[in-house]
Amino acid sequence: MSFDPATDLELTRRFAAAPATVWRCLTEPALIERWFAPRPVVTRDVSLDLRPGGSFRSVMDVPGHGEMPGHGCVLEVDPGRRLVWTDLMRGGWHPNAGSFGFTAVLTLEPEGEGTLYRAQALHRSQEQRAGHEKMGFHEGWGAAADQLGELAASL
């Protein structure tokens, strides 16, 4: 309902693993670190307070760019089905300085034995959407989604 093709981006993947296993990969910090950023970027020090208003933190080590700390806020948790978070805020609904400014809507639907995974990035404007696409949304989120599917299948 809140997805707007003029301002937002999305991708889908079909995973062999069941939604419950994919959900673990979306929400357990030690598993998040194994898929969250496309290799060779390394994600570490993930913490996730899995409730509305909870903090979602991570650090990415980007070769050639150094360390990028990330601060987000959990918006919606529907276990096994839907996770929504944003980088507009950090824990406690607190506005974030220096954020890119998007909301991530991640949904899981059972499909046979597996999962239909959908990742949406909601933006404030068409310009921001175009910028995110140019930065490599499909490649970056796509590679991370593939890593997520592989990790879930291995569990």
Element (H, E) at 87: none
Q: Which amino acid is present at 28?
A: E
CA 116 to CA 98: how far, in whole Å?
33
Residues 6+ away with beta carbon under 8 Å from 30: 46
Confirm or reject binding of residue 119 to its own copies (CB under 8 A): no
* Cβ nearer to its own copies, comparing 40 with 98: 98
Confirm or reject binding of residue 81 to its own copies (CB under 8 A): no
- Of residues 73, 127, 118, 68, the one with CA closest to residue 95: 73
Residue from 37, 48, 89, 108 in contact with its own copies (CB under 8 A): 89
Output the furthest CA–CA distance in the chain (Å, rounded). Answer: 43
Residue from 20, 44, 52, 130 in contact with its own copies (CB under 8 A): 52
* Cβ nearer to its own copies, comparing 115 with 128: 128
Residues that bind its own copies (CB under 8 A): 1-2, 4, 7, 52-53, 75-76, 84, 86, 88-89, 91-97, 99, 101-103, 105, 122-125, 128
